Amino acid sequence: MVPVPQPGRPWRAGRGRAVAVTALTAVAIALPAPARAAPTAAGPSASAAGGAPFFLRYPTDQLGVPGAIETAELTPQGSLFTGRLELALRAGRAMRPWGDAVPRTLAGDGTPVHAWSRRVDGADVRATAFAVEAAGVPVVHLRLELTGRGTGRRPFHLGLDVGWLGQGLREELKGDLPRAPYRFPRNVASAGAGLLEQPGDPFDPAWTSTWTTGGVLGRSGSPLLAARVVPADRAAGVLVRRTTAPAPRPDDVAARLRVDGALRAGQRRRIDVVVPLRAVPAGHPALADRHDDGLARLRRTWRPVLDRGMRIETPEPAVDTAWRAGILAMLVPRHRLPDGRWVQTPNKFQYQASWIRDTTMIAHALDLLGFRREAGEDVEFLTRWQDGTGLLQSRVGQYDGMGQALWSFGDHVARSGDLAMARRLLPAVDAATAWIAERLALDPRWILPPSDPRDDNEHVPGHATGDLVWLAGGTRRVVALAEALGDEDRAEEWRALADRVADVARARTAEAARDGVVPPVLDADGGRRWGEMWMAWPTALLPATHPLVRATSDAAAADEREGLALWGGRLHLYLGLRRLHTELLAGRRPAVVDGLYATLAHLTSTGGTWEQGTAPLGSREVYRALGPHGWASADLLSLLHDMLVREDGDAVRLLDVLPPSWLRAGRTTRVLRARTAHGSVDVSLRTTRTGAVLRWSAAVPADVPLVFRAPDAVRRVRLPGVAPGRREIVLPGRRGTMRLRWTPGPTVLSGPDAVSTREGLRAAYAARARRR
């Protein structure tokens, strides 16, 4: 199977001096020439980044079919790991594991198709993997294809190793669950709807493996996969060997497939594998599903879904890849319960469960991106977490869920106009608001009980700032539900309740502030930065320019490393995105651009997100909290949405924050089907040597101003019908074309972009490695 490196102290803070920066571009500026080199590479090099071709040393990718609970993982070593098996790819004369540290790519059309390739023994080897439904069963299709190069006939060697666990791996208890390094837990039965569930087979040393007709590999009578070699006859110079062996240990190889032969330049040989993700009987039609048929079916399934959503095209491939990957990170992990309800999970690995906090932010992003149906299904599931008293919390002691659920109810109804859902949610909101009113009477100072530090992010007992901030935001936002229904009595009652909660929240945050900085816990010292970063976005408890928000945000920025927030001394990918949303609302556009680039520099080669990693300039390992992470993707994509199209009171701002590098002559930024509370917007900007051409089409009411502001990176701005020097214009009509005149400033040509920022990060890690 696959020899797997053991994790290198993933939770220990790195020794020595950390590079302190509030934006990753500062690293690039401070480092020697390689960090500021022209952006020529498509991704970080292996040598410069300590052996890995992307930020995470051991990245993972998820495969799954929306609606199905079963999971598959593309591991850091390039193997396929499911609830029932691990399948390793081998190639070359030495039959070494193939795929370790090879960067994977995501399909350019946005569909969940992963590919990776490399040169082996003078031939090109490419693997492709995707998950799709076949005959009612979720399956993974995996193709390993070799293409000859050079002159004459050259020998080739391909192979598969199949077992229960990768060679050299051992399961260890992580919390209450046994897990192998960089693998999700399996054979986990759910304790209830929305709680962790991972189907899988427990290991049995008595299993026996057998290859049968059609290349089907069975294990004690249960088919595991079907592997087809194309072409597979001796006339084509192909020798196929299938063998099995006893596997008394979990990491033993139970079955092997070897393909040997010779081929000329341009000739191809391949192994096509189909792996059902749940047990099927012998002869099941899913085992006969062909790779190309499955791929065509996947595209027919996903294309209508993706065509409903917002689409962006920017001058930077890193942004577009992150966008496509982020959509999949939110949609792929959703599964459907037998009763028809949909469960939104952060990913299909260790987080295949529902939390109110994750679902709230993911549903908000799905609404912004136009996936209204999926957002509504996610939001409606939140009522599952309401108890008989009216309290909404998905885990004991996580009181932020009360405000988050209410906020989500109101936000979705306001954006979707779904009155039927509003009526279905009404009983839950009535019960929740009654619970809050009762708590106000019992405890007018705090309203909510203190949070439980055992399962909350602040890690200090006490009244968490975020719990009260979200309660204020939720009681305010849910008023939109009553307004949508035309229920003015409820709306008035809920507004009054929201005013009382907001007064308490503002008073407590002001009292707790030290030097203007609001702490994570209002009535205790210490704690990890978390909920205080939500005071402006999205709760709107305080304006983004409020002194408390500014001081708290500035303190958070000062503590960042590599342009990311720290949580418990470790890099945290999406915690700092709350600050960037706040900076956007405060009009601090350069900070938003710097933070965006820093985030992009830390993604995987497939645009994958993650949650928390190691110390700054550390090992770059994410051992337990595997990515991608749906909440992280949601906050990143909602930031990109708001940079390009966002609501500002009764107006809609178009292309409000554009990175200076996007303004270089000949570049185009295009946005299609961006959703706002007022309607859908299309907008594009094509730059020229003397300015740009702006085009827009907005399905919003005539009384909603469409506002465009010339970017800060350009000078000598001339907008039609606006006095010279003025940077803002209200666009005439709901659609049109406008020529804009300006002169590019110095940051347009020489400022940072996604590649140079990633190069700066790469150089910082290389410099740190040399000092060790």
pLDDT digits (tens, 9 = 90+) for 354-395: 999 999 999 999 999 999 999 999 999 999 999 999 999 999
d(CA 611, CA 574): 7
Alpha helices in 447-546 (DSSP H): 465-477, 479-484, 488-512
pLDDT in the model for residue 301: 98
- What is the Rg, in whole angstroms, of the alpha carbon atoms belonging to the chain? 27
Residue type, 505: A
pLDDT in tens, 227-240: 999 987 776 778 99
Mean pLDDT of 472-479: 98
DSSP state letter for 521: B
DSSP state letter for 561: B
What values do phi and psi take at 616, rounded to 5?
Answer: -55, 140
Mean pLDDT of 739-759: 94
Q: Is the dihedral of CA 7, 8, 9, 10 positive or negative?
A: negative
Q: How confident is the model at residue 1 (pLDDT cuts 50, 70, 90)?
A: low
Task: Give the chain's largest Cα–Cα span.
Answer: 86
Answer CATH for 61-304 from 2.40.160, 3.30.70, 2.70.98, 1.10.10: 2.70.98
d(CA 639, CA 292): 37
Mean pLDDT of 456-479: 95
User: β-pairing, 311-313 with 668-676?
Assistant: antiparallel
Provide the residue ranges of all domains of the chain, joining segments of one domain with +. Answer: 1-15+314-323+331-353+560-772, 61-304, 386-559
Residues 6+ apart with CB under 8 A from 734: 697, 698, 699, 700, 702, 706
pTM over 0.85: yes
**421, pLDDT greater than 60:** yes
Answer CATH for 386-559 from 3.40.640.10, 1.20.81.30, 3.10.20.30, 1.50.10.10: 1.50.10.10
Question: Which residues share a beta bridge with 668?
Answer: 686
pLDDT in the model for residue 50: 35
Mean pLDDT of 446-469: 90
The per-residue pLDDT of the chain, averaged, comes to 91
The answer to whether residues 620 and 57 touch, using CB atoms and an 8 Å cutoff, is: yes
**96, pLDDT greater than 90:** no
pLDDT in the model for residue 54: 66
DSSP state letter for 340: S
d(CA 716, CA 727): 10
The answer to whether residues 245 and 198 touch, using CB atoms and an 8 Å cutoff, is: no
Residues 6+ apart with CB under 8 A from 636: 322, 326, 574, 577, 599, 609
What values do phi and psi take at 645, rounded to 5?
Answer: -150, 120
Mean pLDDT of 202-215: 96
Q: How far is CA 71 from CA 278, 404, 511, in A?
A: 9, 28, 47
Question: Which residues share a beta bridge with 634?
Answer: none
**100, pLDDT greater than 90:** no
